[in-house]
Amino acid sequence: DKINLLQTANIILASGSPRRKEILNDLLKLKVNIIPSTFEENLDKSQFTPEAYVQENARLKALEVWNRLTSTGTRPDLVIG
C-alpha cells in the first residue's frame, strides 16, 4: 500500500514553511523532517512561465538538500522542495 510506504519513508521537506509541514505531518499523517534549503530563490523570472519558475525553484531546493545530505552519507527516500 502506497500510503503505508510513505508513512514509513524518510521524507525531507526542504522548506521551513510551517504550513507545508502542517499539511504533510498533520493532515497527511506523514513523518516529515524539516531541513531548509540554502538555495537562494533568485532565478531570472523572465526566463520562466510562473508555473515553471515555481517548479524550478522547488527542484533546485530539493536538489541542494539531497546533495548536502548524501554528501554526509544520509540518503533520504524523498526530498520535497
Burial class (CB in 10 A: 0-12, 13-18, 19+), 29: exposed
Q: Would you place residue 7 in the very low, low, confident or very high pLDDT band (cuts 50, 70, 90)?
A: confident
pLDDT tens string 25-74: 999 899 999 999 999 999 999 999 999 999 999 999 999 999 999 999 99
| 41: nearest Cα among 7, 17, 25 | 17
Cα separation, 46 vs 28, in Å, equals: 35
- pTM comes to 0.87
